[in-house]
Amino acid sequence: MPVPEVKKGKWSKERDRTKSGRWRKKRSDADQPREKKRSTLKYALAIIGAIVIVFIVIYFFFPQFFEWLKI
């Protein structure tokens, strides 16, 4: 099946065929490699670090809460 005719003009774009077989305007970032998604490991470590800091602050300001640990 031939590619649909597109008017020559300032805003015309190339066309791509979708999985369903329809034609659509080609995305501007279609030929570029995809960005790697942000790692959730970094956020998990940041959250764990924040929780540890909160526990340390609570330990220094309210040591009676940690008497059961006997450190």
- Number of Cβ within a 10 Å radius of residue 16: 13
**What pTM does this model have?**
0.43
Q: Which of 3, 37, 43, 40 is nearest to 23 (CA)?
A: 3
Q: Which residues of the chain have pLDDT under 50?
A: none
Q: What's 22-60 look like in SS3?
A: CEEECCCCCCCCCCCCCCHHHHHHHHHHHHHHHHHHHHH
Computed over its alpha carbons, how large is the radius of gyration of the chain?
28
Element holding 61 (H helix, E strand): helix 40-61
Residue 47 pLDDT: 96
